[in-house]
């Protein structure tokens, strides 16, 4: 019994000793070291009046990746009367307006940036402008075509012309402006969303006034039509005057559509086709007001085309050298 007791006590001692000293131990896992966060250098932005140089706004802790559009929104909060579309933000009082997508840290400014503000005046969307400009001529021309009262002598009220050219001219004129309205709603994309409200009065005076002047003579009871009617030029030019536009600046190139092949020779084929359509309308009606409208439109479109052509040459070094602004090899 004593021997058995001694043996049992020896086993317990051995077991206790074995439990006290572990045979193996798993290595402790080290926590990954936290990466040090890069310190963000915030900008301070002050906005001065471009004319008086008075300080209008001071923006503290502006993120370096903030855009000019976002800065305009911040400025608008402190000056609600100047909404973003009305603001022109510039690096120099007499410089060009910065684009809304320009990033603050990519501009030639320090961490304390100074910008200059100019009020562009009340703005209106380009869609509204075009809808107003093009609806007017459409409606006004039809008033003369149907000879509503107080336009011609009372005996001609709501009468129709006996000349087929007059009816054809009305269809062409109406088609032209209906097509423009549809392009405005479903085709065009505008790089600038608004224009000064004051310009719409000038533009409407031009479009509406010329429409009334042309319509008065073409639909006059004493109007004598030409012997021939060159309709084809107006039809082709008017149908293919499509310029979708895009906010992405890139060199336009011809496609499989043969009416885009003119891009090989001119920078602004939409103006070329526009000129062609009104030349056709002038020949079709042989009406002096139409010819004058075509001439004035050609002068204005030439100014726009030259400006766009210069912009292409300045922006794209590989711009095709054979292209002219509006008329191939001429202008």
pLDDT tens for each residue of 10-22: 544 455 444 444 5
Residue 34 inside a domain? The answer is no
Residue 112 inside a domain? The answer is yes
Residue 178 inside a domain? The answer is yes
| Total of domains in the chain | 3
Structure confidence at residue 324 (pLDDT): 94
Q: Which of 204, 225, 246 is the last residue of a domain?
A: 225
Structure confidence at residue 167 (pLDDT): 94
Residues 131 and 220 in one domain: yes
Residues 127 and 115 in one domain: no
Low-confidence stretches of the chain (pLDDT < 70) are 1-38, 190-192, 227-249
Structure confidence at residue 5 (pLDDT): 45
Structure confidence at residue 191 (pLDDT): 64
Beta strand ranges found along 16-157 (DSSP E) = 43-49, 55-62, 87-90, 112-119, 123-125
Residues 216 and 245 in one domain: no
Residues 261 and 331 in one domain: yes
Residues 258 and 325 in one domain: yes
Query: How far apart, in whole angstroms, are the C-alpha atoms of residue 169 and residue 171?
Result: 5
Structure confidence at residue 194 (pLDDT): 87
Q: Which of 206, 225, 244 is the last residue of a domain?
A: 225
Residue 232 DSSP code: H
Measured in residues, the chain has a length of: 331
Residue 25 inside a domain? The answer is no
Structure confidence at residue 65 (pLDDT): 92
Q: Which of 225, 244, 273 is the last residue of a domain?
A: 225
Residues 175 and 201 in one domain: yes
| Residue 115, domain CATH | 3.10.20.90
Residues 100 and 136 in one domain: no
Residues 232 and 274 in one domain: yes
Structural domain containing residue 321: 228-331
Beta strands 43-49 and 112-119: pairing type?
parallel
Residue 166 inside a domain? The answer is yes
Residues 139 and 105 in one domain: no
Helix axis angle, 269-285 to 231-239, nearest 10°: 150
Residue 1 inside a domain? The answer is no
Return the residue matching tokens 């509006």.
326
Residues 115 and 129 in one domain: no
Question: What are the backbone dihedrals phi and psi of residue 70, each rounded to the nearest 5 degrees, phi first?
Answer: -70, -35
Residues 187 and 239 in one domain: no
What is the DSSP secondary-structure string of 23-78?
S--PPPPPPPPPPPPPPP--EEEEEEETTT--EEEEEEEE-TT-BHHHHHHHHHHH
Structure confidence at residue 6 (pLDDT): 43
Residue 101 inside a domain? The answer is yes
């Amino acid at each position: 019994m004593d021997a058995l007791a001694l043996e049992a006590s020896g086993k317990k001692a051995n077991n206790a000793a074995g439990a006290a000293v572990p045979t193996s131990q798993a290595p402790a896992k080290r926590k990954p070291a936290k990466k040090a966060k890069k310190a963000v250098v915030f900008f301070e932005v002050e906005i001065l009046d471009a004319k008086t140089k008075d300080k209008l706004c001071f923006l503290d802790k502006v993120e370096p990746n903030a855009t000019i559009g976002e800065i305009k929104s911040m400025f608008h909060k402190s000056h609600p009367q100047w909404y973003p579309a009305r603001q022109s933000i510039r690096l120099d009082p007499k410089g060009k307006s910065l684009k809304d997508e320009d990033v603050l840290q990519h501009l030639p400014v320090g961490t304390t940036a100074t910008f200059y503000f100019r009020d562009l005046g009340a703005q209106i969307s380009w869609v509204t402008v075009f809808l107003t400009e093009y609806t007017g001529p459409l409606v006004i021309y039809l008033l003369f075509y149907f000879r509503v009262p107080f336009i011609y002598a009372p005996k001609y009220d709501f009468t129709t012309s006996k000349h087929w050219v007059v009816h054809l001219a009305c269809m062409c004129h109406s088609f032209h402006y209906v097509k423009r309205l549809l392009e405005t709603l479903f085709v065009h994309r505008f790089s600038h969303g608004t224009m000064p409200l004051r310009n719409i009065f000038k533009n409407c005076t031009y479009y509406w006034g010329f429409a009334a002047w042309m319509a008065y003579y073409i639909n006059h009871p004493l109007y004598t039509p030409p012997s021939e009617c060159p309709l084809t030029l107006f039809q082709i030019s008017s149908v293919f005057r499509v310029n979708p536009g895009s906010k992405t600046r890139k060199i336009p190139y011809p496609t499989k559509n043969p009416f885009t092949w003119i891009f090989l020779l001119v920078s602004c084929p939409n103006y070329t086709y526009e000129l062609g359509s009104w030349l056709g309308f002038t020949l079709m009606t042989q009406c002096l007001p139409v010819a004058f409208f075509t001439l004035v439109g050609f002068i204005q479109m030439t100014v726009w085309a030259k400006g766009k052509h210069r912009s292409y040459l300045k922006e794209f070094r590989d711009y095709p050298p054979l292209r002219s602004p509006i008329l191939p090899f001429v202008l």
